[in-house]
Structure 1
């Protein structure tokens, strides 16, 4: 009787390194990772520069990178760029921190206790589909037009999404871990403190990283409310005067700040959870 003999597998040392890079969830050296990241960031800029240098677009509507850099330098020297960055950073991070402080316990309880889930999840799911921009008139009536209104818009834009994502992170904690702790006599509070939270922390950090990015996307909406400074306000003001180079500069600045924030969260994750590959 013949026995099926599978083809011999190549030894791991004989597999070319270039092929291992394309394995599903394969590893990259740090230098390769940085080179690819740099290429991914520079390629759109090079295409943009070539497009504008070839005269394929009206500079009024599509300024080149050199024009945007000149506008950025002028903004920095004469128009208070650092003040705009500082006030926008304050608004975004304050709204985000307030969302985090409230969403963490609510999401934890929604993901842990079914009665809380049944009570709060449908309402949260309903509100999260309402666009934050639609709340601008109400926010102006509720809290006026000072800084609290901008912060509240960012809070509304991030809080309800964050609650549901945190609840889902908590629900992903394996039930076997919870049952093992209960078998050993752990109380409900001990299960939450010693099992659920430690197990869900990496996912919770990723949720905060993602929702912090969403907070930046609501900046322009937040600064619609009677703002006189900030990156979003500068973009809206530049629109009225057809300063497309300044619009590009403001959008790119928000992207750069958001990218730095994202990398800061990743760095914190690598320090806090070194066993995870990030």
Structure 2
């Protein structure tokens, strides 16, 4: 009987021991494939660089071999030569500076006005009930559709282009900020009220500290939208900026200039995103696992 009991005990423990052995013996490479599992930084960097190298290799194969006509897709060498010509002969650095100014002017105005409004909408239902129907309706209207009205109302100067960036980012920024604020845990608010904190004291000491990390990520996301709207702003009635250069190059069938302009906007947007990403991680390190 004692032998039978031992066998039964071993049989009952076998699945648990098997599960523990699988967990303890799981290679790290398998853990890297699990959902939301972190991977070593050097591996992350290597994979990221590999994706760029593969894309560049495919591009080179298609262009240098003559599979694709240079009119539709120039070689990397032609793109680099076009970039050098734009900087040395056509003052492309001035176009870059103008584009950066327009993007950040419109975006910063949207942030200065949109953040307080979004915070109030996420905090007070009365404010949300008043503004949310209007803002939600306008959010679905493309900014490019307002260009004829902006030209009629404002003209074709700098303010018209800045206004396009503002309209393209403001309404989504307000709603996404309101969502972040409204997602603050109710238990935190009740604890603050129990301690005798006033309404605006709760907003200042509880809601804002809890919501700011998410709000900053929202700002980072909306900044990417601002870079996408700059082309729309500069393609219409503009004599300067990267968008204007792209339009002029299209008229003269200079595909290499078009691609270089697009790559420049992508590089500027990526640089601003990386700077903001690093700043957010430095300000709120507790929100990130690494």
TM range (shorter): over 0.9
User: What TM-score comes out, normalization by structure 2 length?
Assistant: 0.91
Match of 2:42 in 1: 31
1:251 corresponds to which residue? 262
Distance 1:222 1:186 in 2: 47
Q: 1:224 is matched with which residue?
A: 235
Whole-angstrom distance in 2 between the partners of 1:7 and 1:265: 47
Decide which moves more: 42-51 or 94-103.
42-51
How far residue 13 of structure 1 moved from its aligned partner, in angstroms, is: 5.8
Q: Which runs of 5 or more residues in structure 1 are unaligned?
A: none
Offset of 1:15 from its aligned partner? 3.0
- From 7, 26, 29, the equivalent of 2:16 is 7
Match of 2:134 in 1: 123
- For 1:236, the equivalent position in structure 2 comes to 247
Tell me whether 1:109 sits opposite 2:120 in the alignment.
yes
The answer for the alignment partner of 1:41 in structure 2 is: 52
Instruction: Output the CA distance in 2 between the equivalents of 1:185 and 1:142.
Output: 51
What's 1:143 paired with? 154
1:159 corresponding residue in structure 2? 170
Q: SS at the partner of 1:7?
A: helix
**How far did 1:155 drift?**
0.3
Equivalent of 2:111 in 83, 100, 103: 100
Whole-angstrom distance in 1 between the partners of 2:21 and 2:285: 31
Shift of 1:77: 0.8
Matched, 1:70 2:81: yes
In the alignment, structure 2 segments of 5+ residues that lack a partner are none
The structure that has the greater radius of gyration is 2
State the 1:20 CA deviation.
2.0
CA contact (8 A) 1:140 1:225 kept: no
CA distance in 1, matches of 2:24, 2:208: 40
Q: Distance in 1 between matches of 2:51 and 2:190?
A: 46
2:64 aligned partner: 53
Who is 2:29 aligned against? Answer: 18
How far apart are residue 276 of structure 1 and its match? 2.4
- 1:114 CA drift (Å): 0.9
Alignment of 1:181-220 (within 5 A): 181-220=192-231
**Alignment partner of 1:264 out of 258, 275, 280:** 275
Distance 1:241 1:263 in 2: 34
Q: What value does the CA root-mean-square deviation take over the aligned residues?
A: 1.6
Q: Distance in 1 between matches of 2:65 and 2:211?
A: 52
Q: Give the Cα separation in 1 of the matches to 2:124 and 2:53.
A: 48
- Tell me, in whole angstroms, the C-alpha distance in 2 between the residues paired with 1:260 and 1:13: 41
Distance in 2 (CA, whole Å) between partners of 1:169 and 1:45 is: 39
Q: Provide Cα deviations, 1:41-94, integer angstroms capped at 9, x if missing partner.
A: 232222111111221211111112111111011111111111111000000011
Q: Using the TM superposition, name which of 225-234 and 164-173 deviates more.
A: 225-234
Report the 3-state secondary structure (helix = DSSP H, G, I; strand = E; otherwise coil) of the residue aligned with 1:168. helix
